Amino acid sequence: MPVITVHMLEGRTAAQKATLIIDLADAAKRTLGVPDEAIRVLLIEMPPEHWGVGSRSMAQIRPSRPNEPDDR
């Protein structure tokens, strides 16, 4: 049973997260040949002050938009 875990900054819409879950599950089905019901996708959202890059938090790096998603 594949378990796909995604850590990301909070701020995305429910629709964006639903699409991400679908796309990740589809990729697992296609590449691993597993049935949909065997796949688990976990989205773990973090506030910007809990996400560090080097010695600074994302809240410090992006103070003008602390709740916007990471646009990597």
pLDDT value, residue 66: 45
The parent domain of residue 40 ranges over 3-47
Q: How far is C-alpha 71 from the geometric centre of its chain's CA atoms?
A: 11
Higher pLDDT, 19 or 64: 19
pLDDT tens track for 12-56: 999 999 999 999 999 999 999 999 999 999 999 999 999 999 999
Question: To which H or E segment does residue 23 belong?
Answer: helix 14-32
In a domain, 35, yes or no: yes
In a domain, 16, yes or no: yes
Q: How would residue 3 be classed by pLDDT, with cut points 50, 70 and 90?
A: very high
| Residue 38 amino acid letter | A
Q: Residue 13's closest CA among 72, 69, 51, 70?
A: 69
Give the position of tokens 């089905």. Answer: 29
Q: Report how many domains make up the chain.
A: 1
pTM over cut 0.75: yes
Active site residue 63: no
pLDDT value, residue 63: 79
Give the position of tokens 């378990």. Answer: 3
Which of the following is catalytic: 2, 47, 66, 69? 2
